[in-house]
Amino acid sequence: MVRCKGESVHQSRDWGYYGWPMLFGIAWLVCAHIALELTQGADGIAAVWPPSGIFIAALLFFDRKRRLMTAAWVAAASMASNMWAGSGFLATTGYTVANLVEGYLVYLIMGGSHSARHSLAHPWHMARFGFAAILAGVASALMAGVLSGNLAFAFLSSWFSTVTLGMLIVTPVILFIATDGPNRRELVSLKSLWTMMVVTILSVAAFGQAGIPLTFLPVMAIAIATATLRLSGAAVALVIVAAVGSILTAAGAGPVSLFFGTTEEQVLFFQVYLVALLASSMPLAYLLSQRESDLATIAGNAARLEAAERAAKVGHWRFGPADNSVHWSREALRICGFEGNVQPSFEQWVSLHLPDDRERVRSFIVEATTHGLPFAFESRIERAQGDVVHIDCRGDVETDHQGRVTALFGTMLDVTDRAETMRQLELARARAEREAAEVRLLAATDPLTGMPNRRCILANLAEAMDSAQLRNTPLSLAMIDIDHFKAVNDKFGHGYGDQVIRKIADILCDEARDRDSVGRLGGEEFLFVFPGRKADELDERCIAIKKRLADVEWDQEHDVTLSIGLAQLCAGWDERDLMRAADEALYDAKDAGRNRHAVHAA
């Protein structure tokens, strides 16, 4: 049968999930057997009992399902090891129940299902764990004594000390190695091998002879391991010290036997010694490991911040006015045109600004420093390469507990692209306004003469009439027509006719004064608006226009004359009424012989 890749991976994960509880059970059995074989205390109780620490580490680390599986494996291992050691069934059952209860009691005191959140390297959590271990040791000893029927003080005290100290020593070591992922990988390196060899040699030197008191060497060994391999290194070093010291102390080879006569006393002293090593080295190892982790986090955050600043073209800076200290981020230096890791003074930065911006920038900084106010400004700096960069600076002040300004912190945003875009938009806006004005002018201008066209002059007439009616002032209108213009066109051509129209338009525009308006209605007709003037006051104006026209020297032998009809605005009239009156006056002038002006009789 062919097994697919997905099935293989799934089975591998199942083995990892279900295999660890079994491995903890096997480790419990092996350690229990070794402990019982190496040293024997009162009533056949092991002097060193690390299995309890193994079980508690599993309870604190695993989830609910694997905790139950581990408990089952530990129960089986406890029954097997105690019966192997020669204990009766009743006593073995009592010892097994006590081993299980002590573990779950510590687990509950440490927070139950929330216990995994508590790192034993923290002093408070370590103290809590120590209290839980002592309480669990007392409960375990009493339960073992009751269930086995042995309530002798030697039995109870030996059980309590070995179980409690076993928990205090083994559980933190396992949890440290299990949770210290980054440094745990270094345990298989060559550096780790040499470090553990040094720890082993120093441990053997301390506990393998009694001639020279060298019990301080394990402290040095753990310090070396901590400095080299951090938390996991310290944990493994502690295990090596415990293993070497236990074996040599049990064999009577170490300095402990010089001061304590019985095995129980020697083991108790050694375990207290190990607890002291644990309490002094593990928090320090954790702090060093946490420091490295924090430094790595800070370095990662700094790298991400630098990448974000580079992508956003924004840098940051900090200036201390008291000592002129200054710090510029890499992106701030790039924006200003500085290369490398140079940290220019604040005055150097201010001097980069263009003269038009320099004093304004300085005033913002002085005001922020003096009054403790936030600041924001845009300015231009000229970099060493000669190019000009537009920047947007924003920031605030840092103050001490007395409210005095100690530093300025700000950001610097490169807005050169934005400034260029705004400049292009401004140019485009000006161009659009100019073109719109030209369009409006073209829409209101007669293309032949350049004077206002029919639409524009009629709009001017309407505006002038509204003003006259509002202010109760007079308003007159002149309708002007070129006499016999069709004959000029027929005789000399339309080009010459256009020349005549342009010349007359120039004369009429020159004769316009103040608020007067003049424009071409179309063809050979023009309209002249006289705000504030009565019709009978315009004789001289009409005569002047005709005189100027008479003085023109034309390219062809002919006379060009004008007929003018004048009308004055009357109450209740609108534009059509006024133009009709002017038109009637114009026809009166033509009927009278042309080359003259006539006033409409209202």
Q: Which of 131-145, 457-471, 473-487 has the lowest mean pLDDT?
A: 131-145
* Residue 453: band (very low, low, confident or very high) from pLDDT cuts 50, 70, 90: very high
**CA–CA separation, 29 vs 199, rounded Å?**
27
Q: Which CATH class is domain 313-419?
A: alpha beta
Q: What is the pLDDT of residues 264-288, one digit of tens each?
A: 677 778 778 887 887 787 777 777 7
Tokens read off for 363 = 């005033």
pLDDT of residue 118: 60
204-to-199, 240, 242, 312 alpha-carbon distances in Å: 9, 10, 11, 60
pLDDT of residue 86: 76
Q: What is the pLDDT of residues 191-220, one digit of tens each?
A: 889 999 999 999 999 988 888 888 889 999
Task: Please name the amino acid found at residue 190.
Answer: L
* Residue 483: band (very low, low, confident or very high) from pLDDT cuts 50, 70, 90: very high
pLDDT of residue 599: 94
pLDDT of residue 376: 92
pTM above 0.85, yes or no: no
If one counts every other C-beta atom within 10 angstroms of the C-beta of residue 341, the result is 8
Name the CATH architecture for the domain at 449-599: 2-Layer Sandwich (3.30)
* Residue 476: band (very low, low, confident or very high) from pLDDT cuts 50, 70, 90: very high
Residues pairing with 46 in the sheet: 40
Task: Please name the amino acid found at residue 408.
Answer: L
Residues pairing with 325 in the sheet: 320
> Catalytic residue among 435, 524, 557, 584, which?
524
**Is the pLDDT confidence value at 516 over 90?**
yes
Q: Once rounded to an integer, what is the mean pLDDT over residues 478-496?
A: 91
**Is the pLDDT confidence value at 161 over 70?**
yes
pLDDT of residue 31: 84
* Residue 20: band (very low, low, confident or very high) from pLDDT cuts 50, 70, 90: confident
Q: Which of 259-263, 367-371, 505-509, 586-590 has the lowest mean pLDDT?
A: 259-263
pLDDT of residue 465: 94
**Is the pLDDT confidence value at 496 over 70?**
yes
Give residue 413's Cα distance to chain centre: 14
**CA–CA separation, 408 vs 394, rounded Å?**
10
**Is the pLDDT confidence value at 7 over 60?**
no
State the virtual CA torsion across 22, 26, 32, 34 in degrees, nearest 10. Answer: -160
Question: In this predicted model, which residue has the larger pLDDT, 276 or 586?
Answer: 586
> Would you say the C-alpha torsion 220, 221, 224, 229 has a positive or negative sign?
negative
Of residues 274, 364, 284, 281, the one with CA closest to residue 319: 364
pLDDT of residue 177: 76
pLDDT of residue 391: 92
Position of tokens 């994960």? 13
With 0-12 / 13-18 / 19 or more C-beta atoms within 10 angstroms meaning exposed / middle / buried, residue 532 is middle
pLDDT of residue 501: 93
Of residues 232, 223, 120, the one with CA closest to residue 171: 120
Position of tokens 């890499």? 330
Residues constituting the chain: 602
Q: Once rounded to an integer, what is the mean pLDDT over residues 548-552?
A: 90
pLDDT of residue 180: 66
Q: Which of 115-124, 197-206, 540-549 has the lowest mean pLDDT?
A: 115-124
* Domain-wise residue ranges, the chain: 13-179, 182-311, 313-419, 449-599
**Is the pLDDT confidence value at 11 over 60?**
no
Highest mean pLDDT range out of 31-40, 151-160, 464-473?
464-473
Whether residue 120 contacts residue 175, with contact meaning beta carbons closer than 8 Å, is answered with yes
**CA–CA separation, 209 vs 251, rounded Å?**
11
SS3 148: helix
Tokens read off for 167 = 């928990």
Q: Once rounded to an integer, what is the mean pLDDT over residues 491-504?
A: 91
- The percentage of residues in the chain with a pLDDT greater than 90, rounded to a whole number, is 32
Of residues 509, 497, 484, the one with CA closest to residue 554: 497
With 0-12 / 13-18 / 19 or more C-beta atoms within 10 angstroms meaning exposed / middle / buried, residue 423 is exposed
pLDDT of residue 306: 86
Q: Considering the chain, what is the average pLDDT of its residues?
A: 85
pLDDT of residue 575: 92
pLDDT of residue 265: 74
Q: Which residues contact 597 (CB under 8 A, 6 or more apart)?
A: 478, 538, 539, 542, 546, 563, 564, 565, 566, 589
Mapped to the 3 state alphabet, what secondary structure does 15-70 carry?
HHHHHHHHHHHHHHHHHHHHHHHHCECHHHCECCCCHHHHHHHHHHHCCHHHHHHH
**Is the pLDDT confidence value at 4 over 50?**
no
Q: Which residues contact 468 (CB under 8 A, 6 or more apart)?
A: 474, 475, 531, 532, 569
Q: Once rounded to an integer, what is the mean pLDDT over residues 62-78?
A: 90
What is the helix (H) or strand (E) element at residue 193, kind and residue range?
helix 190-207
**Is the pLDDT confidence value at 593 over 60?**
yes
Q: Once rounded to an integer, what is the mean pLDDT over residues 103-108?
A: 89
If one counts every other C-beta atom within 10 angstroms of the C-beta of residue 485, the result is 17
Tokens read off for 455 = 């639409």
Q: Once rounded to an integer, what is the mean pLDDT over residues 326-340?
A: 88
* Residue 379: band (very low, low, confident or very high) from pLDDT cuts 50, 70, 90: very high
pLDDT of residue 1: 37
**CA–CA separation, 449 vs 430, rounded Å?**
27
**CA–CA separation, 269 vs 262, rounded Å?**
11
In our burial notation (b when 16+ CB lie closer than 10 A, e otherwise), range 379-393 reads bbbeeeeeeebbbbb
Residue 524 a catalytic site member: yes
SS3 588: helix
**Is the pLDDT confidence value at 150 over 70?**
yes
